[in-house]
Structure 1
Amino acid sequence: MSKVVLITGASSGIGKSIGEFLHHKGYTVYGTSRDPKNYPDSLFALLALDVKNIATINEAVGKVIANEDKLDVLINNAGAGITGPIEEIPETEIKANFDINFFGPINVIKAVLPQMRKQNSGLILNITSIAGYMGLPYRGIYSASKGALELLTEAFRMELKPFNISMANIAPGDFATNIAAGRYHAPLLKDSPYNESYGKSLNLMDAHVDAGSDPEMMAKAVYKIITTNTPKIHYKVGEFMQKFSIVLKRILPDKVYEKLLMHHYKL
């Protein structure tokens, strides 16, 4: 029997690429979207799920288990970007981002664990971000939400070992997806003290996404992890310099690394 995979946020971008790749490899794939009827041509089943709504999470997970009587792999991919000076981002937007990027994945994990414990097996992959390894200017809230998920996984893994359930993070760099169009941008205010520097950084961030890697690179990385017997805790996927930036943060003095980031973002 083929493995059953559930992927949140699979109607476009990285989630869609992972779903299509695994579908072609013979996996039974279920993806989720807030409004599946907008994607009638999906190669795999799409279920309605909003990670901010626990009822929809439980309903979608329940449908997968009812249909397949098992759930082998959960891929927590649904997420949202957010940019802006931390001082100027409304608290409601900060909380909304954590609801999607942090609390949402937790609630999806909670929904699948009873079935994975019952079958004494399972793999959970959390899609985080290389941005979660460092505090990036004007992406501080995004960095914080993804960094929190990275640390959560480290703790969760140890708690789940007695049940033969594995968990890992996959931190992507910049990929050519529609994340820039869907993320919250704090407006560029003419009278803001951050107007010039935020404007430069915003243009740079959008350019990085436009020139990003093919999402299929992530799909291949996921497939490799699924087919290994002993997944690592952390994986990084992206261009060499994006991954190397994490190494530099580990070995350079903090202030030197800060200067490198500020130079990169033209601050």
Structure 2
Amino acid sequence: MPKTVLITGGSSGIGKAIGEYLVNLPATPDGKGYQVFGTSRNPENYNDSVFPLLKMDVNSTASIDAAVAEVLNRAEKIDVVINNAGIGITGPIEETPEAEIKKAFQTNFHGPINVIKAVLPQMRKQGFGHILNITSIAGYMGLPYRGIYSASKAALEITIEAMRMETLQFGIKMTNVAPGDFATNIAAGRYHAPVLEDSPYKKDYGNTLKIMNEHVDNGGNPLEMAKMVHKIIETANPRIHYKVGSSLQKFSIVLKRVLPDRVYERMLLRHYGLK
């Protein structure tokens, strides 16, 4: 019997790559494979999806509940949930509107938590389930002009560590998968605080924004993330944390752990051309 997989934010980017990879895998000799459901706020705009897209806005608990109910109506179980939906945000924190900060946390933190709350009763009933949360390597460090994004992903990482321990007794696994820069459309869809002409941050923020966009444009193939997610799903006892990205991106986490704070800070400043 195929595993039922629900992917939030499955219409583009990493979520789409994961879904397409899973549905295109050949079935095993015993008939096992994957039945994938993706979600989108506007699924009607994606008629070419190779797996069903259900309507879901992770900022609406009613929308989440309706999508989960639809999956259960079609498949009667949920084996794997991949919390992928999220938004980017950049800008000097001083100049970032409070409403945009709240929106980022609502989507990147509260949204995944509410999806988990919606599926836990079914997974408890089943006695099994695996929840993978797509976080970010940026969540391991405070990055200049991306501090709110880093904070929202860091909050999710830490919260999942706690939820994992709370739900192990029910046979439920939770895993965080932190990607580095991948070539997706996240830069086009994220909130950019405008580079203001009279802003004291104008020069540094403008230069850093160009570097961030170049990193995304030159990022890895999302297929790399899809393959890692598949490997994790098929792992009997997955780790709590996985990092997927360039060697430098993954090594930056190690350096933060071993270097003195001010040394690491100078390294980041040089990386972004801020000092």
Per the normalisation by structure 1, the TM-score is: 1.00
Q: Secondary structure at the match of 1:187?
A: coil
Stretches of structure 2 that go unaligned for 5 or more consecutive residues are 26-32
Tell me the equivalent position of 1:166. 173
Selected match of 1:45 from 48, 52, 74: 52
In structure 1, stretches of 5+ residues that fail to align are none
Per the TM alignment, residue 72 of structure 1 is displaced from its structure 2 partner at its CA by 0.2
* Residue matched to 1:223: 230
Q: Which residue of 1 aligns with 2:5?
A: 5
State the secondary structure of the residue aligned to 1:40: coil
Deviation >3 Å, runs of 4+: none
Distance 2:50 2:250 in 1: 31
Match of 2:105 in 1: 98
Deviations 1:37-70 (A, max 9, x none): 1000100000000000111100000000111110
Counterpart of 2:21?
21
Alignment of 1:131-150 (within 5 A): 131-150=138-157
Q: Specify the alignment match of 1:79 in structure 2.
A: 86
1:224 aligned counterpart, secondary structure: helix
Task: Give 3-state SS (helix, strand or coil) of 1:191's partner.
Answer: coil
Indicate which of 245, 262, 272 corresponds to 1:265: 272
1:181 matched to 2:188? The reply is yes
Q: Hey, what's the Cα distance between the residues in 2 that align with 1:42 and 1:62? A: 21
Q: Partner amino acid for 1:33? A: S
Measure, in 1, the Cα distance between the counterparts of 2:17 and 2:233.
15
**1:14 to partner: Cα distance:** 0.2
1:241 and 2:248 equivalent? yes
**Residue 125 (structure 2) pairs with residue 118 (structure 1):** yes
Q: Give distance in 2, aligned partners of 1:65 and 1:138.
A: 41
Alpha-carbon shift at residue 197 of structure 1 (Å) = 0.2
Task: String of CA shifts for 1:58-110, please: whole Å, max 9, x gaps.
Answer: 00000001111100000000000000000000000000000000000000000
Q: Give the distance between the partners of 1:6 and 1:66, measured in 2 at CA.
A: 13
In the alignment, the residues of structure 1 paired with residue 248 and residue 10 of structure 2 have an alpha-carbon distance, to the nearest angstrom, of 27
Task: Please give the alpha-carbon distance, in whole angstroms, between the structure 1 residues aligned to 2:199 and 2:245.
Answer: 34
Greater shift in the superposed pair: 20-29 or 84-93: 20-29
Deviations 1:148-183 (A, max 9, x none): 000011100000011000000000000000000000
What is the number of equivalent residue pairs in this alignment?
267
User: Which one-letter code corresponds to 1:212 in the other structure?
Assistant: G
Q: Which residue of 1 aligns with 2:116?
A: 109
SS at match of 1:70: coil
Q: Please give the secondary structure, in 1, of the residue aligned with 2:103.
A: helix
Identify which of 27, 30, 40 aligns with 1:33: 40
Helix, strand or coil for the counterpart of 1:235?
Answer: strand
Alignment of 1:191-230 (within 5 A): 191-230=198-237
Match for 2:136: what amino acid? Answer: S
Which letter maps to 1:225? I
Name the Cα RMSD after superposition: 0.4
Q: Distance in 1 between matches of 2:243 and 2:228?
A: 9
Structure 1 residue identity aligned to 2:14: I
- Compute the displacement of 1:231 (Å): 0.8
